[in-house]
């Protein structure tokens, strides 16, 4: 009996030490690209700061890993707006309420279901969305995140229908991880003013098919200096 208890305690201590050794400042998640059962995943990784635990039930296989907050927010937002006919029972989402929230706690064999699980559409058509505020303070920095599902091979932006972006506006395409669900291109307006507010259109090329989405951003009138409005 003492030996059996000792073995159980040792396993628990080893798991605790393992979690402590991989760091305490960032979220820890399970990472497995393709497992038949979620309980089969035993790899624990420390995510970068700002990342969440990602969960995708591909039915019948599972994908577990870290994902950037921008992509998590985009996937969650996009799927919540796409709840319509043609949905399957596949689930996808991100969570950050606790370490290892995207899989199974090996110390107790208890399954943790992510808090933001959603249905996943089976339509093969590519999708695109822009996450950005509708209004911004005068001369504040604004970012527009163009997200496509699946990732696009390339992105391009237009401002008020023209391919020439205003001064102080630039775009950066983020390289997705292998097997990523979504791709992201972020446009940054360093200081939004009378020359840079308007309609921004993001276009993405996905397997030879172009998709685009437009977003209008304005300036909060109360933040414009009186000398400019008088």
Calculate the average pLDDT of the chain.
77
Class of 127-218 in CATH: mainly beta
Q: What share of the chain is helix, strand, coil (3-state, %, to 5)?
A: 20, 40, 40
pTM for the complete prediction? Answer: 0.54
Cβ–Cβ < 8 Å for 206, 150: yes
Instruction: Give the Cα-Cα-Cα angle 86, 91, 94 (nearest 5 degrees).
Output: 130
Q: Is the pLDDT of residue 73 over 60?
A: yes
Q: How far is it, in rounded angstroms, from Cα 35 to Cα 217?
A: 43
10 Å Cβ neighbour count for 165?
16
Instruction: Give the start-to-end residue ranges of the domains of the chain.
Output: 2-121, 127-218
Q: Which CATH superfamily is domain 2-121 in?
A: CD59 (2.10.60.10)
CB-count burial class (<10 Å; 0-12, 13-18, 19+) for 16: exposed
pLDDT tens string 87-143: 444 577 888 888 788 875 333 333 333 444 333 333 347 888 888 899 999 999 999
Residues 6+ apart with CB under 8 A from 31: 41, 43, 44, 45, 64, 65, 66
């Amino acid at each position: 009996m003492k030996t059996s208890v000792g073995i159980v305690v040792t396993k628990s201590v080893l798991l605790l030490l393992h979690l402590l050794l991989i760091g305490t400042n960032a979220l820890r998640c399970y990472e497995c690209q393709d497992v038949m059962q979620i309980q089969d995943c035993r790899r624990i990784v420390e995510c970068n700061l700002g990342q969440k635990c990602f969960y995708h039930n591909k039915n019948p296989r599972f994908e577990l890993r870290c994902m950037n907050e921008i992509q998590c927010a985009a996937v969650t937002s996009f799927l919540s707006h796409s709840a319509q006919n043609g949905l399957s029972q596949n689930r996808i989402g991100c969570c950050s309420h606790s370490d290892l929230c995207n899989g199974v706690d090996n110390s107790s064999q208890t399954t943790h279901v992510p808090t933001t699980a959603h249905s996943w559409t089976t339509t093969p058509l590519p999708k695109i969305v822009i996450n950005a505020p509708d209004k911004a303070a005068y001369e504040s920095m604004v970012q527009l995140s163009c997200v496509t599902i699946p990732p696009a091979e390339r992105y391009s932006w237009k401002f008020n229908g023209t391919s020439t972006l205003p001064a102080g506006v630039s775009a950066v395409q983020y390289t997705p991880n292998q097997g990523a669900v979504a791709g992201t291109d972020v446009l940054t307006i360093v200081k939004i003013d009378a020359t840079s507010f308007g309609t921004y259109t993001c276009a993405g090329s996905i397997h030879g098919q172009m998709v685009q989405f437009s977003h209008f951003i304005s300036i909060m009138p109360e933040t414009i200096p009186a000398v400019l409005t008088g």
